[in-house]
Structure 1
Amino acid sequence: MTTAGREQVGAKGERTRRQIIEGALQALRTGGVAATTTRDIAAGAGVRLATLHYHFESKSALLLAVLEYLIDETTAALREETSDTADVASCIRESLRAGWRYLTRTLELQIVQYELTLYALRRDDAAGLAAYQYDAYVRVYQDILQGVAVRTGELDAAGCADVARFMLAGIDGLLLQELAKPNKARSSRAIETLIAAAQGFASRVSNDRKARR
């Protein structure tokens, strides 16, 4: 087989793999982790069951691939939705508002992601994926903050990481609350409260840094 032929086969394999992952995601949105079978996923993806098992040796391997896919999709969306800002306080405000807009547009996907995170935590060979997920989301907020802090000198890298963890902890808690007991008005007020708290925390971290100089 020529190099071009091998590349074509490889590209087709990647397309099929993505098709299966997207089919799995659709099945999970409908039935959840426990009720979804590989046969359901194959039917939803429009592939033979044998093709699914060629690309994924088990349901577990496929579910973990779906979680990785969701992590990549979410981190990319969070980066795209956050615009440039003048200072850290504005950055916190805009990134948390943008993050909340994305999360509330994709509530069904967030439920699937929580299910898959718990699934990964229960598996000895996949618990690291759950940690990777949260590290990835912290890194998004940290990178956004550092893009501003490098210019303004308000926070160092460690300070940006601390503020990013605070932001993620807050928005994650609000998302769980919204999923459990939906109330858009309450959640909107809570996001603004979280913004003020994160801004206050960032200010204290910045002042502590200046005091140590």
Structure 2
Amino acid sequence: MTTAAREQVGAKGERTRRQIIVGALQALATGGVAATTTRDIAAGAGVRLATLHYHFESKSALLLAVLEHLIDETTTALREETGDTADIASCIRGSLRAGWRYLTRTLELQIVQYELTLYALRRDDAVGLAGYQYDAYIKVYQDILQGVAGRTGELDAAECADVARFMLAGIDGLLLQELAKPNRTRSSHAIETLIAATQVFASGLSNNRKARKARRPATRG
């Protein structure tokens, strides 16, 4: 087989693999993780069951691949929805509003993602994937904040990480609340409250660092 032919076979295999993952997402959104079988997923993806098992040796392997796919899709969407901002306060506002818009557009996928995260946490061979998910989402917000802080000097790297964790904890809690007891008006108000609280938190971190620096005794030359 020529190099070009091997590349074509590889590309086709990758397309089929992605087709199965997308089909799995649709099936999981309808039936949930526990009730969905590989046969259901194969039917939804439009492939034979043998083809599914050729690409994924087990349901567990497929579910974890779906979680990885969701992580990649979500982080990409969050980065694309967040534009350039002038300072940390507006960065926080823009990032949280953009994140909330994306999450509320994809509520069914968010339910699947929570189910898959719990599934990963219960497996010794997949606990690291749940940690990877958390770190990936923190990094999205942290990178956005650092992009602004690098220009303004408002926060250092450690402070950006602290603010990113605060943002993720807040928006994750609001998402769970919206899923359990939907109320878009309440949630929209809550997001604005989270934005204000995060801005105060970030400002406090910056002011504390500046105060510590001001208290340090001057060194003599």
The two structures have a TM-score, normalised by structure 1, of 0.99
How far, CA to CA, are the matches of 1:209 and 1:3 in structure 2? 58
Number of the residue aligned with 2:51? 51
Superposition deviation, residue 23 in structure 1? 0.4
Aligned residues: 213
- Which whole-Å deviations, capped at 9, do the CAs of 1:88-113 have from their partners, x for residues lacking one? 00000000000000000000000000
Number of the residue aligned with 2:193? 193
Number of the residue aligned with 1:178? 178
How far, CA to CA, are the matches of 2:45 and 2:98 in structure 1? 31
Superposition deviation, residue 212 in structure 1? 2.8
Number of the residue aligned with 2:72? 72
Number of the residue aligned with 1:13? 13
Superposition deviation, residue 61 in structure 1? 0.2
Number of the residue aligned with 2:219? none
Alignment of 1:31 onto 2:19: no
- The alignment-based identity, stated in percent, is 89
Number of the residue aligned with 2:218? none
Superposition deviation, residue 114 in structure 1? 0.3
How far, CA to CA, are the matches of 1:144 and 1:212 in structure 2? 26
Number of the residue aligned with 1:62? 62
How far, CA to CA, are the matches of 1:160 and 1:211 in structure 2? 18
Alignment of 1:208 onto 2:211: no
How far, CA to CA, are the matches of 1:93 and 1:70 in structure 2? 24
Number of the residue aligned with 2:217? none
Number of the residue aligned with 2:132? 132
Query: What amino acid is the match of 1:136?
Result: A
Superposition deviation, residue 209 in structure 1? 1.8
Give ranges in structure 1 of 5+ residues lacking alignment. none
How far, CA to CA, are the matches of 1:101 and 1:209 in structure 2? 33
Secondary structure of the structure 1 residue equivalent to 2:85: coil
How far, CA to CA, are the matches of 2:158 and 2:165 in structure 1? 11
Superposition deviation, residue 211 in structure 1? 2.1
How far, CA to CA, are the matches of 1:41 and 1:128 in structure 2? 25
Alignment of 1:157 onto 2:132: no
Runs of 4+ in 1 over 3 A off after TM superposition: none
How far, CA to CA, are the matches of 2:107 and 2:43 in structure 1? 24
Query: What amino acid is the match of 1:77?
Result: A
